Structure 1
Amino acid sequence: MGVTADICDVHKDSVRLADNVFYVFGQKKSFSGPIHTVRVFEDNVLVKKALETIPEGSVLVVDGGGSKRCALMGDNLAAIAEKRNLAGVIINGCIRDSGEINEMPVGIFALGTNPFKSVKKGEGQNDIPLLFANAAWKPGEWVYADEDGILLAEKKLDE
């Protein structure tokens, strides 16, 4: 995968930049893939379901409303992403078990950490356009993420 700086050099007019508000967790510091979305609020049931069902190589983008009052992912859900060979996860919310996750071969971008777990009501929406971090996240479009930032593109770019 090309790093985001290189992608910007070649495809400047074809990418959108998300605000740099995320921390990077896991051993995978860069990833790219097609976007699959989930919108939830302090409830991770649909996050788990998406991790179990979206295609291998995908990036799960979770809009948790920016809440930092609980975690939407911990080491158990990160293990699902690892086992299913997902490209990565971007969460507009928090994770927990960061020490364990940082030892795993996964790539997760999140707003921070919180030791509290989420509720389990199963409320939310799947596969819908999202808007957070001053960017539009659309199912089927592509995301490129690394330690320099997160880029979004309408389609897969030549790398």
Structure 2
Amino acid sequence: MVFSTPDLADSAPDARAVLHPWQDYGAVTCFSGVAVTVKCFEDNSLVKELVQQPGNGRVIVVDGGCSLRRALLGDQLAAKAVENGWSGLVIAGAVRDVEILETLELGIKALGSCPQKTDKRGEGQLNVSIEVGGTTVCSGDYIYADRNGVLVSAEPLLPL
């Protein structure tokens, strides 16, 4: 489904913009879905667990502490997300393998890239309220992302 986040924002004054200088890394630049939240810092253990589960069109929203020192998503995990039906990922942190990510049918927004992978320490929190880009995102919120940015809403802004 193609939509415009500016049009959605105009028609839904309660929608909140997630204010970060997002960069698009996946082949899909317009995506939406119900949020699943992850809070982690330089450890993508929970992201790895999630992408191996059925996505059902949902969007993983990661509060990575805005760190650009370690990539929270690479080509293998992104390919698994595509395989399992995730709509996209919004990552307040870094990704890697960008030349491969751009070929995958997945929405990926992140703050930047870094060639180094994370350590797997099994740390982080799943399905918690996170602060990303000046707004709170909760699992179950609705995420709308396009080249203009990212919107979050407690209610659906488009027909499901």
RMSD: 1.2
- Structure 2 Cα separation of the partners of residues 106 and 100 of structure 1: 11
- CA deviation map 1:93-148 (0-9, x unaligned): 10000001111111100010000010011111100000021111111010100000
2:17 is aligned to: 17
- Structure 2 Cα separation of the partners of residues 41 and 54 of structure 1: 24
Kept after mapping to 2: 8 A contact 1:40/1:124? yes
Runs of 5+ consecutive residues of structure 1 not aligned to the other structure: none
CA shift at 1:54, angstroms?
5.3
- Structure 2 Cα separation of the partners of residues 52 and 155 of structure 1: 27
1:26 is aligned to: 26
CA shift at 1:155, angstroms?
1.4
Kept after mapping to 1: 8 A contact 2:61/2:89? yes
Runs of 4 or more above 6 Å deviation: none
Structure-1-length-normalised TM-score: 0.95
* 2:105 is equivalent to residue 105 of structure 1: yes
Aligned pairs for 1:118-133 within 5 A: 118-133=118-133
Q: How many residues matched?
A: 158
- CA deviation map 1:71-90 (0-9, x unaligned): 01100000011111111100
2:95 is aligned to: 95
- Structure 2 Cα separation of the partners of residues 33 and 69 of structure 1: 28
- Structure 2 Cα separation of the partners of residues 151 and 54 of structure 1: 23
Structure-2-length-normalised TM-score: 0.94
